[in-house]
């Protein structure tokens, strides 16, 4: 896995970089595990724009990923490693002993021909899924469940992992990349290893067209609009707080305050400018 840089034959290709896709073993998906993915263009069921700056983009088929890993005790063999246009991570096609095929997230270090298994009592090897209470301290895990049996929800993007740092009673403490520590029930499943394709964050789009391929439309700043079109319109916004098109504040928390989670041990580091 590496990054391929373009020759600067045009201005847009000077800074553009893509993955070299060296780990990909085939360039087409398993038809039985794919389904159509309909685009909304940011419109709701009335056809009105509910989310701006969404539209266009390349057509995609959704790959059905096995986040639950609920086929306990049955070994599966890795058959292919494929590209998934719907996520930053690669996906691995595994075939179980009974002939069933499923997609799983591809962990770093898992190769074609390797065996994976899930369920209590499994070995703590890369690609295996087992309850958190059975995973040794200091182990990196991904695709972690928040509720037993619900399926993995945490650490699913490229290069991410959580570290098992402590066990207390029925709960296991996990440290995130943000330094935040959370307690998860020990019966929740987690997959051993780090999600692959860690070089994803080092790649550069290089041109605006790449964002359009991903379905992201341009964002126009309010300051460059006319006063009739935006509260910030005109030559300057005059020192007022940043607001959106309808005058609502931006950059401030808008969610209703609720009771903090009792499973949060250490909150992640604060981001943004330091205040005196």
The model's pLDDT over 76-88, given as tens digits with 9 standing for 90+, comes to 999 999 999 999 9
- Quick one: CA torsion of 255, 260, 266, 271, rounded to 10 degrees? 10
Q: In 3-state terms, what secondary structure has residue 61? A: strand
On whether residue 213 sits in a domain, the answer given is no
Q: 113, 112, 137, 139: which is closest to 125 by C-alpha? A: 139
Model pTM score: 0.89
Look-up of token digits 């390797």: 114
Indicate which CATH number applies to the domain containing 227: 4.10.950.10
Q: In 3-state terms, what secondary structure has residue 253? A: coil
Residue-averaged pLDDT of the chain: 92
In terms of domains, do 24 and 124 share one? yes
Residue 82 backbone dihedrals phi, psi, to 5 degrees: -125, 160
In terms of domains, do 14 and 82 share one? yes
In terms of domains, do 151 and 48 share one? yes
Q: Average pLDDT for residues 188-214, to the nearest whole number?
A: 95
Total domains in the fold of the chain? 2
In terms of domains, do 180 and 250 share one? no
Cβ contact 108:198 at 8 Å: yes
Written as six digits, the tokens of 140 are: 């990196």
Q: 108, 60, 66: which is closest to 85 by C-alpha? A: 60
Q: Average pLDDT for residues 249-257, to the nearest whole number?
A: 81
In terms of domains, do 140 and 254 share one? no
In terms of domains, do 37 and 104 share one? yes
On whether residue 211 sits in a domain, the answer given is no
Domain that holds residue 145: 3-200
Cβ contact 152:190 at 8 Å: yes
Indicate which CATH number applies to the domain containing 107: 2.40.50.140
Q: Tell me how many helices (H) and strands (E) the chain has.
A: 1, 17
In terms of domains, do 194 and 63 share one? yes
Scanning 74-202, the segments in alpha helix (DSSP H) are: none
Q: What is the CA radius of gyration of the chain?
A: 22
Please identify, among 200, 230, 253, the residue that sits at the C-terminal boundary of a domain: 200
In terms of domains, do 148 and 45 share one? yes
For residue 179, count CB atoms less than 10 angstroms from its CB and return exposed for 0-12, middle for 13-18, buried for 19 or more.
exposed
pLDDT bucket at 262, cuts 50 / 70 / 90: confident
For residue 24, count CB atoms less than 10 angstroms from its CB and return exposed for 0-12, middle for 13-18, buried for 19 or more.
middle
Cα 149 to the chain's mean position, in Å?
A: 20
Q: In 3-state terms, what secondary structure has residue 183? A: strand
Cα 19 to the chain's mean position, in Å?
A: 17
DSSP string, 21-40: -TT---SS--GGGEEE----
Residue 272: CB partners within 8 Å, gap ≥ 6? Answer: none
The whole-angstrom separation of Cα 113 and Cα 241 is 58
Cβ contact 119:84 at 8 Å: no
Cα 2 to the chain's mean position, in Å?
A: 19
On whether residue 260 sits in a domain, the answer given is yes
The whole-angstrom separation of Cα 143 and Cα 131 is 12
In terms of domains, do 33 and 160 share one? yes
On whether residue 273 sits in a domain, the answer given is no
> Looking at residue 256, what is its pLDDT?
78
pLDDT at 276 over 60: no
Q: Average pLDDT for residues 237-254, to the nearest whole number?
A: 85
> Looking at residue 274, what is its pLDDT?
54
Per-residue pLDDT tens digits for 156-185: 999 999 999 999 999 999 999 999 999 999
Q: In 3-state terms, what secondary structure has residue 103? A: strand
In terms of domains, do 115 and 9 share one? yes
């Amino acid at each position: 896995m590496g990054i391929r840089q373009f020759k600067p034959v045009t201005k847009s290709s000077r800074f553009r970089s893509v993955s070299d896709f060296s780990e990909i073993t085939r360039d087409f998906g398993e038809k039985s595990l794919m389904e159509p993915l309909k685009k909304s263009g940011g419109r709701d069921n009335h056809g009105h724009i509910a989310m701006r700056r969404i539209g266009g983009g390349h057509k995609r088929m959704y790959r059905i990923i096995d986040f639950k890993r609920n086929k306990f005790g049955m070994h599966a063999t890795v058959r292919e490693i494929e590209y998934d246009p719907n996520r930053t991570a690669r996906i691995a096609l595994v075939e179980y002993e009974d002939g069933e095929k499923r997609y799983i997230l591809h962990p770093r270090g898992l190769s074609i021909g390797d065996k994976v298994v899930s369920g209590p009592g499994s070995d703590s090897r890369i690609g295996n899924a087992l309850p958190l209470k059975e995973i040794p301290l200091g182990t990196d895990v991904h695709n972690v469940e928040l509720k037993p049996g619900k399926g993995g929800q945490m650490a699913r993007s490229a290069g991410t992992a959580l570290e098992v740092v402590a066990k207390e009673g029925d709960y296991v403490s996990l440290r995130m990349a943000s330094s935040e520590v959370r307690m998860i029930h020990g019966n929740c499943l987690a997959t051993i290893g780090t999600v692959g394709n860690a070089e994803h964050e080092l790649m550069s789009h290089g041109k605006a067209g790449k964002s359009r391929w991903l379905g992201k439309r341009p964002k126009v700043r309010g300051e460059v609009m006319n006063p009739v079109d935006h509260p910030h319109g005109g030559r300057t916004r005059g020192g007022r707080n940043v607001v959106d098109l309808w005058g609502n504040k931006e950059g401030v928390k808008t969610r209703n305050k609720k009771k903090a989670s009792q499973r949060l041990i250490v909150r992640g580091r604060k981001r943004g400018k330091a205040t005196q």
